[in-house]
Structure 1
Amino acid sequence: MELFHGFRPLLAPCVVRMLGELPPPAPAPLDQLRDKDAVYAAVGLAAFDLYDEIDFDEWFTNVLSQELKIKDDNYRIIRRRVCLLIGQWCGVRASPSLRPAMYAALLEPLSSSTEDLAVKLAAAEAMRSTIDDFNFDVEQFRPFVPHVLSALYDLLVESEECDTKMHVLHVISFVMERGGAGGAGGGLLAYLPQLWAHADSHSMLRAAVLANLLHLLKATGECAPSVRPWVLGVLNSATCLTDPMHVYLMEDALELWLAILETSQVVDPPLLQLAENLHPILEQSSEHLRIVVYIMQAYTLLCPEEFLSSAGGKCMAVMEDMLSDMRTEGLLTVLKMAEICVSIQLPERNAFLGVKVIWPILIRVVRALLEGDDLAMVLSVQLCLLSRVILLSPDLFYKCVQEAAVGQTDYENDPVKVLDRLLQVWTEKMNLVTQVERWKVVGLGLAALLTTQNTTVLHRFPAVLLNLTEVLNDVMKTDDNGVYVDGLVAGPCSRPPSPLEGVGRAARWEGGWCATKETPHELRRRRLAATHPAASVDLRTVVHHQLETLKGQVGPETFERLILSTDQETLQQLREYVPL
């Protein structure tokens, strides 16, 4: 290659001339076939340098496609080389209209029961190259998917070496990822348990089996009941730290585990028991923190009470212990998982279970806010988390502040002083919350505190009212009739916000394959999103109600004094939305 790059003006015409002098497709003596193979190999290696010299469309149509049809035994050398050529040139100079003909040409040797194994493997690799291309059109490829997968499955069974099987599995995974399963996954799914047993001492082949299972599950959208017990058993061994194979299989197994959860309608005992493997993984290191949190999110949406009361609680305890050593991204990941714990709807008998499992994290958050020096994105999630707790139960919030005050000598261990400092940081830095949905939730939390009959909160009344006015300025919009409405309250066709989204890559709202499909997990996520306060609660109505309630609690005279203590400009803006 370096030689060709360095002497392209000299070598390119020579290679093109030799290509033109080759005999047409026909059986020939072995030495002539070797010469043709050598020229074809040079053309393949120098594909980018020969872009302007060779019209690949014409060459493929008139020559290469014909080469693949010659079944002479020695001609397998050329058939293999032609397959490799197609793979090398498809991304260099092949028109989109030629793609179906290329798929059909490669499928012929790939699906032939009499074709040489080397030719089939070359055709499989070329097929992967043709769909791993910027100009790939899935609609052109879709009619070929069932036939390609069927041929690849036969090749997988025919192959004997583990390395060969692993290579074929990678191609199968790629085809399913780009084109779906095409209804041809049944035979493969039935064969994979046998292949898993065969690969007892070949960890890389087992990793390929897991990757194949993942793509098959994504393509079909469900785990067949006939293989589900086997799949869960495989996941258990691949994620159990006492099994030596976990070193090689953990990453693929966690992705498959998540896909199983996202396609499950209900949780069964084996799937719930599998969750006990999560906290040892977290205890070992934070290497898999993000995917483990994704799995925890999926469990929390699928079976919140069962998960949080067992494995989920253990996981949250481990993550709380890790917080002091985490960087910003890890910190956000844990905080957003905590937010989901308090967002999920639980049975009345366990209504505060989510708060219970994150209690140490809440205390840590309060103490961190006292310092007031976290990054804006961290402070945003911290305030939002506390606001969700307040909206759930103000009493739990005050209890958290009381426990957080223990050991705070700078505040004389006094919960009143801790609360005052917390509200000071809250009201002074609330404008650092840039995501409007979170800003509204933080505003709702402040509004909820107004009627808790706490003198420390009332002492901060002017600052609270100023922040509520600023939030109202941001979320209130005028409708077609010129009437103010809450612009975040979900309309019939709008997408509500979710605690699963935001900075920090801690969730899978926009990412993840299931977001584009009507999977059970996606439906559960939408149900949770529909209950999000930013989408379901009218801020203006809440502020008006809280002020009226406060007026009834403290009396008109005291309420008037509170109003007069507030800046006149703030009151003027607030009166645009709320009568005072």
Structure 2
Amino acid sequence: MDLSSSGPLVLETLTNACCQNADVLKPAERQLQQWETQPGFYTILSEIFSNHNISINVRWLAVLYCKNGVERYWRKTAPNAMSEDEKERLKSKLISNFSEPVPQIATQLAVLISKIARLDCPRNWNSLLPALFQAVRCEDLLIQERALLILHHVTKTLASKRLPPDRKLFEELTGEIFGFVYGLWIRDLDLFAELSQVHSDEMGPAMDRANLSCKIIRKQIVYGTKDPSTNQDMSSFLNQIFVRLKQVLGFRQSMWGNHQVLEKCQKMILLITKILLDLLDIHPISFIQLIRPTLEFVVTYNFSMSEKGLLFERFTVNCFNLMKGILSSDVYRPMKSPEQTDAVKMAAYKIKMDFFHYGTLREICRRLISQYFLLTSEDLSHWDADPEGFCLEEGGDSYKYSLRPSSEVLYLTLFKEFRASLSPVVLELVQAVQAPCDPEDMIGILSKDAVYNAVGLSAFDLFDDVDFDKWFSSELLQELNIKHQNYRIIHRRIIWLCAHWVGVKMSFSLRPTLYQAIISLLNQSEDLVVRIESAMTLKTAVDDFEFSVEQFLPYLDSMFSLLFDLLKEVQECDTKMQVLHVISFLIERTGGQIKPYASSLLQYLQILWQEAQEHNMLKCAILTTLVHLVKGFGSTCTTVYEFLLPVIQISTDVTQDQHVYLAEDGLDLWLETVKNSPAPNDNLLQLYRNMPGLLEMGTENLRTCLKIIEAYLLLCPQQFMHHFCNSLASSLHGLMKDIREDGQILILRVVEVALKLFPKEGPDIFLTMFVSIVDSILKDKNQSMLVSMNLTLFGRIVLQNQEFMWKLLQQMAPQYQEEVNTLFGALLDIWFDNMDYITQPERRKLSALALASLLSVNSSLVDEKFAGIVTLCVGVLHDVTRIPVDDDPLLQLDSLVISDTDQGTETEEEEVEHEKRKHQLSKQDPVHTVPLKDFLISQLHLCKEQRGEKFDLLMNQVDPEIVQQLTAFTR
């Protein structure tokens, strides 16, 4: 690209790309995209964004295109990589001027420079840092601030690199510049202190520069050294950190009315506390010197009245997390064996324990509960304005950013560390709020709510100290009967409290009382927040180990109706999902008992499915509910096919974008539907057309897909194989090529089911796969589960379709340049060697039956392997033969043979249709219908008839002890 002639054209195109008219915008974007790989394009862009006379929007767009180009074409190995000359021109341009007046463009330039620095600094761009150092010393405040901004982004980028050489480079860089940046920080803070005396307009820029310096310090002190305490400048910083933190807190207090500067002071306060948090996390040993001052600082500023005016939420959150981090750090906790604990850990532990004496613990605990656990006026306004949003639980890492979660996590950490000291404090508070309070006394209600919150959070730790049964029966239930608008706060907290204690210490006999309480609070006359909380408590109670369906049944009708009303009433997608999960859980735990109440729910789910077109997570919740409903319906699920089948169809259709979200739950629903269907159904069968696409997508849902195929084979074997046998064989064979061994075994189990159902036709359908199976047996020298599975399938063919076996071996013999008998002999040898690795009794017996079936084959190969076959068969006979209790020892039975009188573990009515079909198939399988002893004797008789006198010679080859054991079986 000619730089002299193309500059105006590029400028015009960038201008058009900023236009709101699509007819002008689109061609400009296409043209810029074409120029991305043209030499000289980025040099022209640098000229444009450096020209302050050009429109801000055009310059901003030029920086963005340049930044994107660096990401794509800067590396030497990238396709269409930038030339070294153009790179040098761009780097030179970027550090020639630090006076960008527009903050947004300055930020983009800083990010652009940091991206280049990540790849080139310091080896291929050694002029960057000196240029930045010179600029931050400049008397022009704008140049100073822009240079610091760039230095911050460069430092942030280099600190993020984790390879050892990169870390070493960053440590070297830190050693060179930390003292300088630290000096800048002190200079700007002191300047701010002077300027604040006269409320100069330059206060803001001074604090901005101090904030940028502090951001650089944060990355360097955490990632730029292995031990900050060994660096003189860093030690000086750590010694000054609380002095400066208190200083900036004072600045903030003096800035009331100047909102902009106050915010800048808050940024500095948070930055310093984040440095402390990072040091505690990354350099806990270096932090030991700061344990005592940190704890004193946190208590002074957060648990005393003297400094209350200095608090703001994010500062308090960081302070709480500092205390929590010190308490929970394993570095500051001795080993179980004191002699194994090093001196450093013991010193840290002693500092911590010396600080937390009873008086301090008592004050912290009381203030956490009475001050930080209280619902605020903002909380109550949120409750009234958006009750569903109020109910959304804060979890995960929310304690790092939000005040209430951080105070609760600190309380729990303290309680676990100092349970003996804090239990009496909490019990005192409980005693103080025991009696019902005046509903008009909002302070009393909020205090009671906070104390109940503490008792719920520490339920496990208060197990021995609180008689929850007595408290619940004598007092909490009375408070649930107080009907007043303000008492909704207590109602919500009591039912929440029950959820925390029900699995800890609530008597089984009190469960009905709890269910009755939940029913009363789920009533439509109650506050919506209370109703949602009650639903969540119900889920916890039903999920408990001691839950009894029989005990719950009298309340099922009311519970289900009230939950259903709540589900229809709530509006938010997240809340509907929450309530749906409670209903799903209820259906799962009560099973078939739900049938009388399910029709109205199903009707509503159909409406909800239509309304949830843009809410895939809500659709997932609906699918989960349907899974449990189908299980509850059992064989009567056919009555809801009209809704179920289209839902399964759209959820598992890989041509629909939403399948990414719905496929997993959709497959679960599909599986349960097929398993519970009592008879074949054409519409259900046609759903299988979605399966090849799902199988092509890989192994994420392979296990469920294969279970569905197996369920189809058992439900409608003839129809299924008639329509889909070729597709099935092709899909399964394709999957076998690039999949781990455990996945291959799952696939082969499906093939095994097909062979059980179609012993004559099945092998021909899977011919290609059987070629691969035999090939694998011959080539795989390892004893593994896969080899055992392959031999099992081969054994089933030997037993049930020897005609196909010989045809298969004849087809494969030329490939191995061997005679058929030689090839079969090799297979038999491998089979003998691997017999000990076929551990499942059914598969061992199948192998024995298959080998025994060869005894009637008049072949020299069988004669050669005769002794091995008999020996293996006798060995398996020992495994499967049992003597009935109290019966004649001579009456020996095959333990795997299923008689007509055998009963399953469940009654016919309770058994899932799928299990009935599996049981029926087992009753047709030779493994479960043919006694091995009888079959072996029969085959030996046939062999004797065929061989005549030669049979005795064959028997002489067998070990005499084996012959003796065989004789014992044949008495």
Where do residues 71-470 of structure 1 align in structure 2 (5 Å cutoff)?
A: 71-110=483-522, 112-180=523-591, 181-182=593-594, 183-222=596-635, 224-225=637-638, 227-344=640-757, 346=758, 352-371=760-779, 373-408=781-816, 412-470=817-875
Aligned amino acid, residue 566 of structure 1: V
Question: Structure 1 vs Structure 2: percent identity of aligned residues?
Answer: 36
Name 2:888's counterpart in structure 1.
Answer: 481
* 1:13 CA displacement: 2.0
Deviations along 1:14-55, one digit per CA (max 9) or x if unpaired, are 222122122633652123222221221222222222222221
Tell me the SS of whatever aligns to 1:221: helix
TM-score for both structures, normalised by structure 2 = 0.55
Contact 1:258 1:298 in 2 (8 A): yes
Query: Are residue 559 (structure 1) and residue 951 (structure 2) matched?
Result: yes
Deviations along 1:421-463, one digit per CA (max 9) or x if unpaired, are 0011122332332222221111110111222333322221121
Contact 1:223 1:260 in 2 (8 A): no
Distance 2:830 2:637 in 1: 53
Distance 2:797 2:832 in 1: 17
Deviations along 1:39-87, one digit per CA (max 9) or x if unpaired, are 2122222222222222111110011111211221221111111111111
Deviations along 1:202-229, one digit per CA (max 9) or x if unpaired, are 0000000000011111122245555312
Distance 2:889 2:444 in 1: 84
- In structure 2, relative to structure 1, the CA distance for the partners of 1:222 and 1:24 (3 Å cut) is farther
Is the helix fraction higher in 1 or 2? Answer: 2
Name 1:577's counterpart in structure 2.
Answer: 969
- In structure 2, relative to structure 1, the CA distance for the partners of 1:313 and 1:150 (3 Å cut) is farther
Count of aligned pairs between the two proteins: 554
**Deviates most, 220-229 or 91-100:** 220-229
Query: Are residue 52 (structure 1) and residue 464 (structure 2) matched?
Result: yes
* 1:569 CA displacement: 2.9
**Deviates most, 541-550 or 556-565:** 556-565
Distance 1:491 1:270 in 2: 36
Q: Would you identify which runs of 4 or more consecutive aligned residues in structure 1 move more than 6 Å?
A: 513-516
Name 2:479's counterpart in structure 1.
Answer: 67
**Deviates most, 528-537 or 305-314:** 305-314
- In structure 2, relative to structure 1, the CA distance for the partners of 1:458 and 1:276 (3 Å cut) is farther
Contact 1:91 1:130 in 2 (8 A): yes
Distance 1:456 1:53 in 2: 80
Contact 1:27 1:70 in 2 (8 A): no
* 1:494 CA displacement: 4.1
Distance 1:562 1:375 in 2: 29
- In structure 2, relative to structure 1, the CA distance for the partners of 1:37 and 1:402 (3 Å cut) is same
- In structure 2, relative to structure 1, the CA distance for the partners of 1:438 and 1:26 (3 Å cut) is same
5+ residue gaps, structure 2, are 1-411
> Larger RCO: Structure 1 or Structure 2 (Cα < 8 Å, ≥ 6 residues apart)?
1
Contact 1:282 1:289 in 2 (8 A): yes
Deviations along 1:486-509, one digit per CA (max 9) or x if unpaired, are 32223455469xxxxxxxxxxxxx
**Deviates most, 228-237 or 558-567:** 558-567
- In structure 2, relative to structure 1, the CA distance for the partners of 1:287 and 1:357 (3 Å cut) is farther
Contact 2:438 2:444 in 1 (8 A): no
Aligned amino acid, residue 220 of structure 1: F
* 1:406 CA displacement: 4.2
Tell me the SS of whatever aligns to 1:28: coil
Deviations along 1:523-572, one digit per CA (max 9) or x if unpaired, are 21111111222221022221222122223333x12323322333333323
Contact 2:634 2:677 in 1 (8 A): no
Distance 1:225 1:301 in 2: 17
Query: CA RMSD for the aligned pairs?
Result: 2.3
Contact 1:296 1:312 in 2 (8 A): no
Aligned amino acid, residue 334 of structure 1: I
Aligned amino acid, residue 43 of structure 1: V
Match of 1:490 among 898, 905, 913: 898
- In structure 2, relative to structure 1, the CA distance for the partners of 1:526 and 1:459 (3 Å cut) is same
Distance 1:312 1:139 in 2: 46
Contact 2:635 2:913 in 1 (8 A): no
5+ residue gaps, structure 1, are 497-509
Distance 2:683 2:863 in 1: 52
**Deviates most, 532-541 or 314-323:** 314-323
Distance 2:781 2:547 in 1: 49
* 1:141 CA displacement: 1.9
Deviations along 1:346-394, one digit per CA (max 9) or x if unpaired, are 5xxxx63322332222222222222353434333322222222222211
Name 1:499's counterpart in structure 2.
Answer: none
- In structure 2, relative to structure 1, the CA distance for the partners of 1:355 and 1:146 (3 Å cut) is farther
* 1:323 CA displacement: 2.1
Larger radius of gyration: 2
* 1:578 CA displacement: 4.0
TM-score for both structures, normalised by structure 1 = 0.90
